[in-house]
Amino acid sequence: MTFSSAATAATPPIRKQRSELSAAGTALGALGMAAAVGVFAALLHVLSEVSPRIGPVFEGWSGSVDGSPLDAVRWFLGDMTEPLFFKSDLAAAGLLTGAVIAWWAGRRRKRWAGELSYGTGLWPWVFASAALSLALSNAAFGWMLDGGWQPTFVPFVCVAPAMVLVYGGGWWPCLTGAVLGAATTTPLALLLIPTVSAPLGLPAVVANVLAMAVGSAVSFAVARKLPWLAPRAVELRTVEPATQSGHPASGPTWKSDTFWAARRVLKDFTETHFFANELASAGVILGVGAAFALNPGLPSYGSNLLPGILFAQALTSAFGVVLWREWFRDGGWAATYASVVSVAPAAVLAFNGSWTSIIGGALLGALVAPPVARGITTRLPPGYHPVIANTAAMAISTAVALPVLGLLPH
């Protein structure tokens, strides 16, 4: 897991060896999962036509945060799924429900639950640090929401959880990561949106993930100087989850490759949260689907483009898993999730959900983001978490892919 967004830079988890993945089995599983998400997306599109349109909408949400504690809590929860371009409190409820079930099942060694936070056993600390960093970001910059949307969500998926995975559980890594994340990433995003994204005609996600990359690099540089932090080995649970088991002695099988690839695509939906768990991913997808069915004017910034975003995200993960399957050999990893939270959804929003944006964005993101992330990761100094490379790759691939897509008919 040398290249994982959540493997500790100093002590990557020890995994069972996985033999070479077959192209046919991997493609069947990955594209099959993408097709399943596509069917779900199509169902959501149909449901949107008959939606009762009950409950809140996105428009006006940010302006009501200061005067309504309920809206402030909803914004805080929505921030947890904004990295997926969902921005929905109901989606956050699904995310956390799935993660709690996975944690409960994992503690009881239920293999069907998959792994959570890479089998480190640190998920409670990962979530606590991320949530605290998010709370600090909202407390420090929430007053700016009167002027419209602000990137208060950015600390939730970078510095804080990565700090826990590098330095281990406990209050010192938890609190340090939370404070450093809120102090660096949100201010940087606020600075880079008007100075980088806007002048170049790029979506705000480019500035946001660039802020995560720079903020993470700065935070880990500071952390190396703090006397109360020291990188330490992360103890793994003794029972490996089913998704990471090696092939049987007879070697890889078509069935096992299919099963693994399908679960890998699903995991990519919560890789950015450092959960990387199928149940958490299913929970967030079902949660945002329910929110969209109730009122399409809430998720994905009220764009009504959630079905296209979901399908593009599953498709870009599937393309990446198939294209870079050799990097998953022998316990390896590839940043196939990077486009899921950058290029693919940004393309759908930028080009109003055209089929060119859905398929083209998914393919370009899968082609560019994982190898760029891998290349940067190999150049990181020891002790610097690979999230720096992965978020930098998101910024680069989005900045490259969207102008290219703009040249195509939509």
Using alpha carbons only, what angle is made at residue 406 by residues 401 and 407, rounded to the nearest 5 degrees?
Answer: 105
The dihedrals phi and psi of 81, each to the nearest 5 degrees, come to -115, 5
CA dihedral 305, 5, 102, 114 (to 10 degrees): 100
Residue 308 has pLDDT above 80, yes or no: yes
pTM for the predicted model, two decimal places:
0.91
Residue the block writes with tokens 């990893």: 333
Task: Tell me the average pLDDT across 215-229.
Answer: 95
pLDDT digits (tens, 9 = 90+) for 152-162: 999 999 999 99
Residue the block writes with tokens 């760029």: 372
pLDDT digits (tens, 9 = 90+) for 371-403: 999 999 999 998 899 999 999 999 999 999 999
Residue 19 has pLDDT above 80, yes or no: no
Confidence of residue 240 (pLDDT cuts 50, 70, 90): very low
Residue 314 has pLDDT above 80, yes or no: yes
Is residue 72 within 8 A of residue 256, CB to CB? The reply is no
Residue 81 corresponds to which amino acid?
T
* Predicted pLDDT at 232: 63
% of the chain exceeding 70 in pLDDT: 90
Q: In angstroms, rounded to a whole number, what is the distance separating the alpha carbons of residues 52 and 257?
A: 42
Residue 293 has pLDDT above 60, yes or no: yes
Residue 181 has pLDDT above 90, yes or no: yes
- Mean pLDDT value across the chain: 90
Give the residue among 332, 387, 350, 394 at the shortest CA–CA distance from 368.
394
pLDDT digits (tens, 9 = 90+) for 84-124: 999 999 999 999 999 999 999 999 989 899 999 999 999 99
pLDDT digits (tens, 9 = 90+) for 125-156: 999 999 999 999 999 999 999 999 999 999 99
Residue 1 has pLDDT above 60, yes or no: no
